Amino acid sequence: MLAALEVTPAWYLVLGSLLFGIGAIGLLVRRNPLVMFMCVELMLNAVTLTFVTFSRMLDDIGGQTVVVFVLVVAAAEVVVGLGIIVALLRKRPEATADDLALLEG
């Protein structure tokens, strides 16, 4: 039975889209900036997983190369983003994303 459950690339793709969906919905419904930030990270990683999968399926190293780039960008983004969020929460511990509406047109 277990042997019949062969893990095909499609599984990874399904997992990736599930993670992406969770991240997207989380981003839309939650108000805590830290959680929203984590949702973004989740989406990023979902895409990364998809890239790797396709890279394997199509036997193309390009996909994995992109992943390395995404990791670097994500790391940089975490540095900046977390810095801002931590600074913000220190000042106003109860702040939500909707309170940060200073850039209104």
Cβ count within 10 A of residue 53: 18
For the record, the structure tokens of 98 come out as: 């909707």
Question: Is residue 104 within the footprint of another protein (CB under 8 A)?
Answer: yes
d(C-alpha 53, C-alpha 50), whole Å:
5
Q: DSSP letter at 70?
A: H
Question: Is residue 24 within the footprint of another protein (CB under 8 A)?
Answer: yes
CB of 100 to another protein, least distance (A): 7
Question: Is residue 43 within the footprint of another protein (CB under 8 A)?
Answer: no
Residue 6 in 3-state DSSP? coil
Which region among 3-11, 24-32, 46-54, 83-91 touches another protein (by CB under 8 A)?
Answer: 24-32
d(C-alpha 56, C-alpha 53), whole Å:
5
CB of 98 to another protein, least distance (A): 6
Chain residues binding another protein by CB under 8 A are 24, 27-28, 31, 36, 97-98, 100-105
